[in-house]
Each structure stands twice: as structure tokens, then as C-alpha cells.
């Protein structure tokens, strides 16, 4: 990926990915909601060797801006051959159980806004018959658990959407890469107790770019999560529903 749009560039995983892309000399179009944080990421990328860095402050939950955002990225970089979709929220499961508004906010950011953006981008990439769409999902989407099933539902729905998009775009030489991190030590998980399964954003970013380079369909990062989630998915529902997960 040489001309890359990064959606949600101020997230910890996205920042680590931007650093790696910049070191490769890629041209970058970065987006984020926080102007100060986005400016810092933009300036950092420029010092690390990016061929070009442009940025735009935008709320990706405003779906009406998506067409113009993609057009601006294409214009600024004279085309795109890669996208990293990294924006998302963890949400508060307990609050979501009490409030539809809280549930809707998680689904809107993690699923609906991603679908809106990918609809625009997929049509562009399909027309140019080239490109790589990399989307950060989560292992939480593999099976619903009482501790985070609203977040998990948003990622599970996203995974199915990406499966269909991949099936559609393969014949147009467009790769759709689903990245499923496990626990990642980021500000979003700062409130959670840490254990050996937590990975750094840098490790996830390396796995993400390796998968993009190989045009993989789906990747768990770190790889141990493929085995963990295989085990979790194969637990019979009659047993699983009694477990505290």
C-alpha cells in the first residue's frame, strides 16, 4: 500500500500502523476527531519518512461527509491503493443493557459508519480494479459473551459484511482483509486488568501490515487468538450459556 487512507488515525493501533507506513515512504491521508491529536500524528508521520501526509478532522459518525471525505483523499494523494479502517468504540456493556441509546451508539460507530465508508470505497476500488481494504475488527465478533455482547455484535456484523464484500471484490483484484486483534493495551482498555494475552499496538500493527502485504482474507493478531477462538466457537451452546465469560 503506497497511497493510504487511514480512518481513525489517532487510535493506538492506527498510530502504530501509521508509523510503519510512514517508514516505508507511503503517502498518507489521515482522519480523526481530535484536532490536536491528529495534528501530532500527522507531524510525526512526516518526520518518519512519509512521502506525503495530509489530514482531515472529521466525525465519522456523520455519514453525510463520507463521499466528500473519500473524494478529498483521492484528490490529495492522486488516488488510493489502500485503506486502514481503524475507528471504533468499546462502549459500556452495563450501560448498553440499560439503554438503547448506548447500544445504538456502539452499533453506529463500529458497524454502520464502517459500512457507509466501505460502500463508498468499495465502489471506487472495484472500478479501478485494484486496492486493499484493511478493517480492524475484533475476536469479540466470533461469539457473543455476556461481558461484551453489544460490542461483539457490532464486530460480528462487520465480519459478515466484510465476508460478503470480499466475495464480491475478489474478481476485481481488490483484497478485503479482516484483522481480529485480541486484547490490546490501549487507552480503550486502560480500565481492564492486564494479563499475558494483552498485546502492544505495535505488535498488532505489524500483524496488520503483514496481512495486508500478503492480501490475506482474515488474520488473528497475535496468532494465538486463532486457537483460542476456535476453542470458544466449538463449545456447545448448552454448555456455553452457563459459562461466565
Active site positions, annotated: 151
Find out whether 179 and 217 touch, Cβ atoms under 8 Å: no
Residue 188: CB partners within 8 Å, gap ≥ 6? 11, 12, 89, 90
Task: Give the DSSP H or E segment for 29.
Answer: strand 27-32
Angle between helices 100-107 and 149-169 (to 10 degrees): 30
Q: What is the C-alpha to C-alpha distance for residues 61 and 64, in angstroms, rounded to an integer?
A: 9
What letter would DSSP give residue 73? H
Residue 20: CB partners within 8 Å, gap ≥ 6? 205, 206, 209
Q: What is the C-alpha to C-alpha distance for residues 115 and 15, in angstroms, rounded to an integer?
A: 22
Please name the residue that has the C-alpha cell 475488527.
137
Residue 203: CB partners within 8 Å, gap ≥ 6? 221, 222
Q: What is the CA radius of gyration of the chain?
A: 17
Amino acid at each position: 500500500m503506497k497511497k493510504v487512507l487511514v480512518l481513525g488515525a489517532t487510535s493506538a493501533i492506527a498510530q502504530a500502523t501509521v508509523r510503519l507506513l510512514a517508514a516505508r515512504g507511503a503517502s498518507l491521508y489521515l482522519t480523526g476527531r481530535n484536532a490536536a491529536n491528529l495534528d501530532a500524528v500527522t507531524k510525526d508521520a512526516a518526520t518518519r519518512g512519509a512521502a506525503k501526509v495530509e489530514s482531515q478532522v472529521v466525525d465519522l459518525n456523520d455519514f453525510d461527509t463520507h463521499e466528500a471525505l473519500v473524494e478529498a483523499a483521492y484528490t490529495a494523494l492522486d488516488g488510493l491503493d489502500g485503506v486502514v479502517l481503524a475507528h471504533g468504540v468499546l462502549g459500556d456493556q452495563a450501560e448498553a443493557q440499560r439503554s438503547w441509546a448506548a447500544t445504538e451508539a456502539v452499533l453506529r460507530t463500529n458497524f454502520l459508519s464502517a459500512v457507509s465508508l466501505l460502500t463508498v470505497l468499495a465502489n471506487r476500488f472495484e472500478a479501478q480494479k485494484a486496492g486493499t481494504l484493511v478493517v480492524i475488527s475484533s475476536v469479540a465478533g466470533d461469539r457473543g459473551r455476556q461481558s461484551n455482547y453489544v460490542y461483539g455484535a457490532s464486530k460480528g456484523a462487520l465480519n459478515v459484511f466484510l465476508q460478503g464484500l470480499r466475495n464480491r471484490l475478489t474478481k476485481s483484484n481488490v483484497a478485503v482483509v479482516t484483522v481480529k486483534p485480541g486484547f490490546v493495551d490501549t487507552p480503550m482498555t486502560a480500565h481492564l486488568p492486564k494479563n499475558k494475552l494483552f498485546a502492544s499496538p505495535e505488535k498488532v500493527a505489524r500483524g496488520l501490515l503483514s496481512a495486508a502485504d500478503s492480501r490475506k482474507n482474515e488474520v488473528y493478531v497475535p496468532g494465538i487468538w486463532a486457537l483460542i477462538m476456535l476453542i470458544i466457537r466449538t463449545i456447545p451452546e448448552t454448555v456455553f450459556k452457563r459459562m461466565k465469560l
